[in-house]
Structure 1
Amino acid sequence: MYYYRLYESPLGTLTIVSKQDKITNLFLTTEQFESFKSGTDVVSDQTQKCEVLQIAIQQLHEYFHENRKEFHFPMELNGTDFQKKIWKKLREIPFGKVWSYQDVAMAIGQKNAVRAIGQANKANKLPIFIPCHRVIGKNKKLTGYAGTKTELKATLLTHEKIPFKE
């Protein structure tokens, strides 16, 4: 069974989901969560029994209001070995910095994997926690985020005081 809680952020209402004491998803839009919810056994954690949800919400609050730079709680990463490798590398991008897709490809020793890195970013179920928003085009231009939500990426980069081109 999955549990969820809502968090009101500068991006709007975020939905954090956990299962067996690990955070599994962070939904940036209500529509994304509703789609997930329709095919999953998920209930609200209004009783606040799920400690990892409380920790994730506290750390999100600190990120948005106190400049928390990293997230530390158990996360469940569901993806291919390649995707997990990319997500691990994304967590190495420091707060307030960006890498290009090419930078990520070079960092994993696969200089021709730029498109695959974009697909791994797209498959990231834990945006913000795994900071795929810190990956932008080589020319400092914004590229896709959470599908077509580049305005959310712009808000996160602005929050971290990272310059970019629209």
Structure 2
Amino acid sequence: MRTTLYTYLQSPIGPLLLAGEGERLSHVGFPQGKGRIAPRDDWQRDDGAFSEARAQLTDYFGGKRRTFELALQPSGTAFQLAVWQALKDIPWGTTISYGELARRIGRPDASRAVGAANGANPIPIIVPCHRVIGANGSLTGFGGGIETKKFLLALEGAAGTQPDLF
């Protein structure tokens, strides 16, 4: 059995927890909000872990990267995995509604279930759940908090967002 490693990345939205096995990320945790996670007792801290993820996230926050090329290992149901895969297809700097995301996975009547799966995304930012908004354009719930969602969308230049610095 492999040990889950974790480390932290200092970012403009606070320290992000990165965790997984080897270089395969299974978690990105926010410093606040419902997406905040703490290391489990059986996890091992290794500040040398996830060097490529740290480099790519640093580039993202610096405006130098629009997509991620990382080994990911999210754990979820088949439905959740389908939603998370579809999230990765939302282009940088754009937003879509939960209903549109449901249509994209072939489940047009499942926007609430898509919303729940979106909210359970264990690898936010890299799997860009922040790019999903309400049908009326409202910024709905987000694991890192609405201010973090606003910051990420503004960083990407998404229409209708204003940058707020922490």
Aligned residue number for residue 7 of structure 2: 5
Q: Given the superposition, is the C-alpha separation of residues 45 and 139 from structure 1 closer, same or farther in structure 2, using an over 3 Å criterion?
A: same
**1:11-32 CA-partner distances (Å, limit 9, x unpaired):** 1111111213311100011682
TM (normalized to structure 1)?
Answer: 0.88
The AA in structure 2 aligned to 1:162 is A
Secondary structure of 1:146's counterpart equals coil
Q: CA deviation at 1:33?
A: 2.7
Point out the structure with the larger helix share: 1
Greater than 6 Å deviation, 4+ residue runs: none
Counterpart of 1:102? 99
Sequence identity percentage: 35
**Contact 2:154-2:161 within 8 A present in 1 as well:** no
Structure 2 counterpart of 1:33, one-letter code: I
Does the alignment pair 1:79 with 2:76?
yes
1:2 is displaced (CA, Å) by 1.4
1:142–1:165 CA contact under 8 A, matched in 2: no
- With a CA cutoff of 8 Å and minimum separation of 6, indicate the structure with the bigger relative contact order: 2
When residues 66 and 158 of structure 1 are mapped into structure 2, their CA distance, relative to the original with a 3 A threshold, is closer
Unaligned 5+ segments in structure 1 are: none
Q: Is the Cα contact below 8 Å between 1:14 and 1:30 reproduced in 2?
A: no
Q: Which amino acid aligns with 1:24?
A: S
Matching residue within 148, 155, 164 for 1:152: 148
Code of the residue aligned with 2:28 in structure 1: it is L
How large is the Cα RMSD of the aligned pairs?
Answer: 1.8
Could you say which residue in structure 2 is the equivalent of 1:59?
Answer: 56
Distance 1:80 1:155 in 2: 29
Aligned length: 158
Alignment of 1:33 with 2:30, yes or no, is: no
Matched with 1:44 is: 45
Distance 1:97 1:67 in 2: 17
